[in-house]
Amino acid sequence: MTEPQLLPAQPAPPSNARLLVPVGLLVAGLVGLIGAVLPWVSISMSAGGVSQSIDTSSLSGPGGGPWRWAALLFGAIVLLIAAGYLFGRRNRGPLGAAAVFSLLLLGVGIYKIVDVYRQAEQTYQQMDELVARVPAAARAGFGSFRDVFHINPGTGLWMVAIGGLLGAVLALVLILTAPKPETAEGWLQAIPNPPPPARPATPASEEGIPPTA
């Protein structure tokens, strides 16, 4: 009697760990996009042991203007490229654009962080000069303007810089590890359904064919 033969096993499906990098690029674009609309400048005031913080979040407010719109655009482009790469085909071309726009997003974040600190220092000096003109008796107990008011980069500005840095690194990783375009498929399409379990082949005698002598 012929021994049943097992069909060849199907290859194991790709690991979901390969999704981490493109998903991370998607998150990086989203972080930069959200950071573009969150506060870019934080002003806090402390007096008498009480501290109060005021964030400027308007797109046209302090620290905003065209720089905010540029960050908004760069973050949206990185987000769209990452989504297209994740749900579409693994094309290396858009990844280069994602790396460039991520670097631009990082550049906007770093430039504006430095600019906020620079403008804060100028404000401290100007206010200290005004306070110095006040009679000493009237400003008793008041040391420096920076001891009362604190001007720092806001949450959104830090998110813009972090999103740009993360996007640039992840886009570079994808460029170096992505498969060739001619054999590439979508990341989500690259995870097939689990193959059916192997079943033994039907012996010839059970198919109505008489066994050979």
In order along its 213 residues, the chain shows pLDDT tens digits of: 555 454 444 444 445 557 788 889 999 999 999 999 998 988 887 765 555 555 555 444 455 678 999 999 999 999 999 998 888 776 667 888 999 999 999 999 999 999 999 988 888 787 777 766 666 555 555 566 667 778 889 999 999 999 999 999 999 988 888 666 544 444 444 445 556 666 655 555 555 555 555
In a domain, 193, yes or no: no
Query: What pLDDT is recorded for position 56?
Result: 56
CA atoms of 30 and 57, how far apart (whole Å):
18
Query: What pLDDT is recorded for position 52?
Result: 55
Residue 149 bridge partners (DSSP)? 45
Q: Of 178, 182, 195, nearest to 18 (Cα)?
A: 178
pTM: 0.68
In a domain, 106, yes or no: yes
| Contact residues for 157 (Cβ-Cβ < 8 A; gap 6+) | 35, 39, 40, 41, 63, 109, 112, 113, 116
One-letter amino acid identity for 74? F
Let me know: does 29 contact 105? Beta carbons within 8 Å. Answer: no
Please report how many Cα atoms fall inside a 13 Å half-sphere around the Cα of residue 202, on the Cβ side: 6
In a domain, 125, yes or no: yes
Query: What pLDDT is recorded for position 13?
Result: 45
In a domain, 124, yes or no: yes
Calculate the alpha carbon distances from 138 to 130, 135, 209 in Å. Answer: 13, 5, 114
Q: Which domain holds residue 112?
A: 70-131+146-179
Query: What pLDDT is recorded for position 197?
Result: 63
Contacts by residues 46-51 (CB-CB < 8 Å, ≥ 24 positions apart):
46/147, 46/148, 46/150, 47/148
Q: Where are the alpha helices (DSSP H) in the chain?
A: 20-35, 66-87, 92-132, 155-177
Tally of structural domains, the chain: 1
CA atoms of 120 and 98, how far apart (whole Å):
33
| Contact residues for 169 (Cβ-Cβ < 8 A; gap 6+) | none
In a domain, 210, yes or no: no
Q: In what order do the strands lie in the sheet with 41-47?
A: 50-56, 41-47, 149-153
In a domain, 23, yes or no: no
Query: What pLDDT is recorded for position 14?
Result: 47
One-letter amino acid identity for 143? G
Query: What pLDDT is recorded for position 182?
Result: 43
In a domain, 98, yes or no: yes
In a domain, 208, yes or no: no
| Contact residues for 31 (Cβ-Cβ < 8 A; gap 6+) | 75, 159, 162, 163, 166
Angle at which helix 92-132 crosses helix 155-177, to 10 degrees, equals: 160
